[in-house]
Chain A
Amino acid sequence: DIVMTQTPLSSPVTLGQPASISCRSSQTLVHSDGNTYLSWLQQRPGQPPRLLIYKISNRFSGVPDRFSGSGAGTNFTLKISRVEAEDVGVYYCMQTSQSPTWTFGQGTKVEIK
């Protein structure tokens, strides 16, 4: 089974400053169809998860462009260019390359300093 490991697990950030979260998979996430099914989810306090980024770097509908994703193979990064108060929450990376299984990282808590 694929294991997803996120770092850091907690990220205190100053408003207006950037934030970065890393995610590493135990196996390559390159699917046999050539795509890499690595997504990022945001879960604000008391809210359900929300898809932010899919296939490494594609922003989902309505997601602000301050969110960006990058990476390849087994190493991936979510960046927030300038953190806003509404960005507080827990961020999860998720793989769906090993279909039909979904595997989540442990989550990274983003909070304001």
Chain B
Amino acid sequence: QVQLVQSGSELKKPGASVKVSCKASGYMFAAYGINWVRQAPGQGLEWMGWINTNTGKPTYAQDFMGRFVFSLDISVSTTYLQISSLKAEDTALYYCATSQGYWGQGTLVTVSS
């Protein structure tokens, strides 16, 4: 069955970087793009962008240009989200999701001094 398994929770200081992984299984990795979605504490869902798993080309939503980078390693069917220069307001759950409707379990990133 299709599964997206994300890396564990992270606690980072302001100004640091974090890299979240999303490992896919149960389907041909290059068949579906991977989207990233942010959910701040107690808030709704916000689309961050997606990465084409065929070409590796990332597309970012307007609010996520600059400090956010999507990448992938096809050899291990894994997509990555890297956030640099972390701020307190980056504290959130980050989800990966395929374009066909499957979601990862979420990764909590907490930014605190």
Contacts and interface: CB of A to CB of B under 8 A. Distances in A.
Contacts, number: 40
Interface in B24-63: 33, 35, 37, 44-47, 50, 59, 61
Contact of A60 (B33, B50, B101): B101
A79 B46 CA distance: 24
A71 interface: no
Contacts of B102: 51
B44 A48 contact: no
Contacts of B105: 48
Interface residues of A, number: 20
Contact of A92 (B45, B50, B99): B45
How large, as a class, is the contact surface on chain B? Answer: 10 to 19
A100 B45 contact: no
Contacts of B47: 101-104
Contacts of B97: 49
Interface in A25-61: 39, 41, 48-51, 54, 60
A92 B103 CA distance: 14
B37 A102 contact: yes
B35 A102 contact: yes
B25 to A, nearest CB: 16
Interface in A49-81: 49-51, 54, 60
A50 B103 contact: yes
A30 B15 CA distance: 43
Given A49-B103, A104-B47, A105-B44, 13 more contacts: A39-B101, A49-B45, A50-B103, A90-B44, A92-B44, A101-B47, A102-B35, A102-B47, A103-B47, A104-B44, A104-B45, A104-B46, A107-B45
Interface of A: 39, 41, 48-51, 54, 60, 90, 92, 94, 96, 100-107
